[in-house]
Amino acid sequence: MTAQENLTTIEPVNGPLVGSISVPGDKSISHRAVLFAAMAEGTSRLSGVLDSEDVRSSLGAVSKLGAKVNLEKAPDGSLYGGITGWGVKGPSAPSEPIDCGNSGTTTRLLMGILAPWDIEVELTGDDSLRRRPMRRVSGPLSRMGAKFLPEDQDTLPLTIHGTRNLKALDYDAPVASAQVKTAILLAGLSADGTTRVTEPSPSRNHTELMLPEFGAHTTAASGVAEVVGPTTLKASEVVVPGDPSSAAFIACAAALIPGSAIQIEGVSLNPARIGFLRTLEQMGVDASRRSVSSSGKELSGIISVQYCDKLHGCEVPADKIPSLVDEVPVLALVAAHAKGITVFRGVDELRVKETDRVAAVIDGLAKIGVDAWADGSDLFIEGNPDLVIPEGVKFETGKDHRLAMTWALAGLSGNCPVQVADFESCAVSYPAFLSDIRSLVRER
């Protein structure tokens, strides 16, 4: 470790987590609300929008492209207000590159949004984003007629030059990715005819659920989504529910910290997002959910989780991974405390997230004496119910927000303080993570 390293010490909590909490707005739904509003004709009204670095990347991008953003901070920390879109006149060419920060969703969705317009836009991002694969989106969009420069380059910075003569596409996606699917569907809105994306297993469907609210003709079945173009989105209203991926950290904290019993309110219960609850249940955790409302077509409700003193390993099949893709690191930490081996099948996609999360989980768990390994596409964790965290552990995160929160949780739920490098990266998705956890602690 060098002197410049930015380490945060995380102390164990001194009591169980008890009571109710709301988590910030869903990141995926917030991005879509902002981006679809920017594309639409008229002024959309948004509320519950997540105020985090990633969503700010989308807000900054649409402002540079000519949408009028008028959002304010609500008392609960979310953003609300209006976004007036560019509608039929289209986005304006920005005078400088658009910096998408750490946000893969901003980048990939923008590629689809810009594909139908005859302007040049350079997209770039931070070190992590500039390592992530983009050909999975530029490839199919090129088949529709858009150009990306430098040609054949997989990574940012990329300059997109769209075309008003985009062709509809029937695309068999090689990976289950909501970002890829959404980019193609958004481009397809401007193409003549039906654009269809078929996935190997269904990824999150927020786009398919939200586009009809903006007046688009969309059909969705498990693993197949279609839009019919050409069409212009019309302003709408979006109420963003709480983020299940943020809720997962609270849920796993409750499962690990003795005596805990918590409820998370107002959280999205979209089945494509709550695979982590099923995995916790399979590990023996008393975890349940109750739907209480829907915002648009998105279900939301309450998640309840209790401490479990008899965690056991389980197997998560490959076709369930998309429903918990962002939760694998924190579930791996729970698995580290479980009796027996847990296996996550088919986790190759984790290698191209903000960091290589398969390697990061294996390295991080090794620091606390837990054996984890990859075999082909599968990730194995050999848990230890009597796990004792050694003194002086320093976790690396590669500035990956989900790793920062996972390793912080190792300390919060453990027997001694740990150090987490670049813990502040949790601001990408859940800036108030630590204070939210601490607000639930009932001190002994």
Q: Applying CB under 6 A, which residues contact ligand S3P?
A: 28, 31, 105, 177-180, 182, 203-204, 325-326, 349
**28 is known to lie in a ligand binding site:** yes
- Expressed in percent and rounded to 5, the helix, strand and coil fractions of the chain are 35, 30, 40
Residue number with CB closer to ligand S3P (190 or 203): 203
Residues belonging to the active site: 326
Smallest separation (angstroms) from ligand S3P to the CB of 173: 10
Looking up tokens 């056991």 gives: 312
- Read off the DSSP letter of residue 168: P
177 is in an annotated binding site: yes
Three-point CA angle 88, 89, 94, nearest 5°:
130
Record the tokens describing residue 322, joined without a space.
Answer: 């998309």
Question: Residue 321 gets which letter from DSSP?
Answer: G
Nearer Cβ to ligand S3P (324/440): 324
Alpha carbon distance 189, 211 (integer Å): 10
DSSP string, 290-313: EEEEEETTEEEEEEEEE--SS-B-
Q: Which is nearer to ligand S3P, 42 or 139 (CB)?
A: 139
Q: How far is the CB of 333 from ligand S3P (least distance, A)?
A: 18
Residues with Cβ within 8 Å of 173's Cβ and at least 6 positions away in sequence, in order, are 140, 180, 181, 197, 198, 199, 200
For the bound state, the minimum distance from the C-beta of residue 145 to ligand S3P, rounded and expressed in Å, comes to 23
Based on its alpha-carbon atoms, the radius of gyration of the chain, rounded to whole angstroms, reads 21
Q: Is 234 annotated as a binding residue?
A: no
Nearer to ligand S3P, 7 or 352 (CB): 352
Minimum gap (Å) between residue 275 Cβ and ligand S3P: 12
Dihedral over Cα of 400, 406, 408, 410: its sign: negative
The pair of three-digit structure tokens given for residue 207, joined into one six-digit string: 């786009």
Tokens of 131: 């390592």
The answer for residues whose C-beta is within 8 angstroms of residue 376's C-beta and 6 or more apart is none
Closer to ligand S3P by Cβ: residue 262 or 328: 328
Task: State which residue, 203 or 413, has the beta carbon closest to ligand S3P.
Answer: 203
φ, ψ of residue 159 in degrees (nearest 5): -105, 125
402 is annotated as contributing to ligand binding = yes
CB neighbours of residue 180 within 10 Å:
24
Query: Is the Cβ–Cβ distance between 405 and 426 less than 8 Å?
Result: yes
Interatomic CA distance for residues 283 and 277, integer angstroms: 10
* Minimum gap (Å) between residue 158 Cβ and ligand S3P: 17
263 known ligand binder? no
Q: Give me the least distance between CB of 351 and ligand S3P, in Å please.
A: 11
- As beta bridge partners, residue 49 has 79
Q: In this structure, what token pair is assigned to residue 247?
A: 């809720």
Strands of 18-22's sheet, edge to edge?
18-22, 261-268, 298-306, 287-295
User: Closest separation between CB of residue 214 and ligand S3P, Å?
Assistant: 17
Closer CB to ligand S3P, 44 or 268, in the complex: 268
Residue positions forming the annotated binding site for 3-phosphoshikimate: 27-28, 32, 177, 179, 326, 353
Residue positions forming the annotated binding site for phosphoenolpyruvate: 27, 104, 132, 179, 357, 402
